[in-house]
């Protein structure tokens, strides 16, 4: 029975590497997969982009944008021939209804869906896609990374050029900011956010 999986972590834990390795394993066994990544912060009308890992692995993927019905697009692809798995990078940017569409891919089309993304933003708030995935995914997996102190990093801080933590601004800023994975204690120390 196909399932909806959500693999999450703080920044720079290797989620894209795991996704690309898993997709490679499927393909190596002669299975057909569909890769997706977010068009959230990409300009233009391109329909594909590269999923790139920090260690140099990469693969072409379809872009999802707000309003795209993933169930319809993936269903049309499945009608063309075998489809053994769907892999979604940057799943935190999915809209709530897109998460449900992916659940329907697993439940109604019988295709496993593996989503990879951040759990929280730089302010410690859940991303909408992550919140929905945490609520309805069949299986949750955490990829662990470490803070500079050696403890498990569960938070992500957004830093400016001078190394000062930013606590205001848009939820997504991939062009100008640097992100650092920290344990909760050090995240609170640098951000001074105390929920």
In this structure, is the dihedral angle defined by the CA atoms of residues 86, 90, 91 and 94, taken in order, positive or negative? negative
- Is residue 43 part of the annotated active site? The answer reads no
**Helices 128-136 and 96-109 meet at what angle, rounded to 10?**
40
Question: Could you tell me where the beta strands, DSSP code E, fall in the chain?
Answer: 4-9, 33-38, 48-52, 58-64, 85-88, 113-118, 139-142, 145-146, 152-153, 155-159, 165-166, 178-182
- Which residues on neighbouring strands pair with residue 52, listed in sequence order? 58
The residue annotated as part of the active site, out of 90, 132, 188, 189, is 90
Residues annotated catalytic, as ranges:
90
């Amino acid at each position: 029975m196909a399932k909806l999986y959500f693999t999450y972590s703080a920044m720079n834990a290797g989620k894209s590497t795991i996704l690309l390795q898993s997709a490679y394993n499927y393909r190596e066994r002669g299975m057909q997969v569909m890769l997706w990544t977010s068009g959230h912060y990409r300009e233009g009308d391109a329909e594909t982009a590269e999923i790139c890992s920090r260690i140099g692995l990469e693969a072409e993927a379809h872009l999802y944008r707000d309003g795209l019905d993933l169930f319809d697009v993936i269903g049309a692809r499945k009608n063309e021939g075998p489809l053994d798995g769907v892999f979604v990078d940057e799943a935190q940017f999915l809209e709530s209804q897109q998460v449900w569409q992916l659940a329907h891919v697993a439940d109604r089309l019988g295709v496993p869906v593996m989503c990879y993304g951040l759990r929280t933003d730089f302010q410690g708030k859940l991303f909408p896609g992550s919140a929905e995935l945490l609520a309805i995914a069949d299986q949750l997996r955490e990829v662990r990374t470490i803070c500079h102190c050696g403890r498990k990093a569960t938070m992500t801080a957004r830093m400016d050029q001078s190394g000062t933590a930013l606590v205001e601004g848009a939820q997504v800023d991939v062009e100008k900011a640097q992100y650092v994975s920290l344990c909760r204690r050090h995240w609170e120390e640098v951000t001074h956010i105390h929920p």
